[in-house]
Amino acid sequence: MGTLSDCQIRGLIADGCVASAMEWGGRQVQPASLDLRIGSVAYRLRSSFLPLESSVSELLPDLSLYSFDIQSSPFLEKGAVYLVPLFESLALPPFLSAKANPKSSTGRLDVFTRVLTEQGDRFDDIPAGYSGKLYLEIFSRSFTLKIHPGLALCQMRFFVDRRFLSDEEMMLRHQQSPLYHFPGEIGQGTRDRIVDGGLYLGVRLLGDPIAGFRARPDAGILSLVPGDSQRATEFWEPIREVSRGELILEPEKFYLFASKAKIRVPLDLAAEMLPFDAAAGELRTHYAGFFDPGFGMSGEGARGVLEVRPHDVPFRVVDGQPVFKLRYERMERPPDLPYGQGIGSSYTHQGLNISRYFINDFNVAEKNAP
């Protein structure tokens, strides 16, 4: 019972529960998820939608403005809604459900993705026993994108009776082996706590020369094509002036920050960051937010990266202020290859890391900063 691991996902593929119109990739199966890849045709939509009692193909003639071949026209304009059929499809047994979320590298680009199913009434939630095609809605808020068929922007997890840890279970696990801690920061984390089925954890604004990043409004085209790369300084503005440990975030701007605590996810657990908590402020604090088994376990832990977008009003945050909630769930069995062990994980031992699509030239820029 619980979330399926990599070896079990490979079993689903072998049994035909998950199929693909494209040859499987060598790193497509992650410790507790499967990367899903976009197909070769995209539809520019008038609006986002849920199909409900209709199939997606029935609704597309009315809701799409035009379609195009991604290979010959590979650009997605920022601020526009697109729908792309995925290469993968499902034929789930009646006891197995699934859930999709953006990959970490996708969320850190301010790219919002959601998976649709035929006749689905919810985004990203795939009901037990679903059989049919999968579609990906893509909405890039900060950057115009250059893409390619086969690009993995989202991932899917599979469950047999998904089980979340209670407060008591998390507290016991935390006492046995810390789920989060503050190395070298004595007295920090006084606001962090286990409550309401999760960990409420804070943002880190002090301790590094760069406290965070803000997406540049004048950035050029961001290429996600293999072999392409771009300088981070052309797309991100560093946030340095946080001397008093407080910062006012501008409405509808996109920021990247690190968590105050370093997070650890044991091999028999996975973790999910919840997307929004109105009681913590009018801001969204992640797009992706899934942590594989083994995250932070090969060392002293790793910081979570928060993808923050304030809504409606300017919002003041201070160092250590709780702005996100992390809940842990049980794995059905530990993965064969935990996070950071042999699969080329991009954010092992991470601090405040930007997406892997950039060359991080901020270290050089900081040396020359006034």
Maximum CA extent, the chain: 62
Q: Is the pTM of this model over 0.85?
A: yes
Cβ neighbours of residue 176 closer than 8 Å, sequence gap 6 or more: none
Could you give the domains of the chain? Answer: 2-160 (2.70.40.10), 167-367 (2.70.40.10)
Q: Are 81 and 47 in contact (CB under 8 A)?
A: yes
Over the chain (370 residues), the average pLDDT of each successive run of 10 is 94 97 93 97 96 93 96 96 98 96 92 94 95 97 96 96 93 91 60 80 88 94 92 94 86 92 94 70 66 87 89 89 90 92 54 85 53
Q: What are the structure tokens assigned to 218, written together?
A: 């004048």
Helical segments of 104-218, H only: 104-107, 167-176
Distance, in Å, from the CA atom of 321 to the CA atom of 361, rounded to the nearest integer, reads 29
**Which residues, 6 or more positions from 165, have their beta carbon under 8 angstroms from its beta carbon?**
173, 197, 269, 327, 328, 329, 330
The pLDDT, as a whole number, for residue 237 is 95
Q: What is the pLDDT of residues 207-242, one digit of tens each?
A: 888 999 999 999 999 999 988 889 999 999 999 878
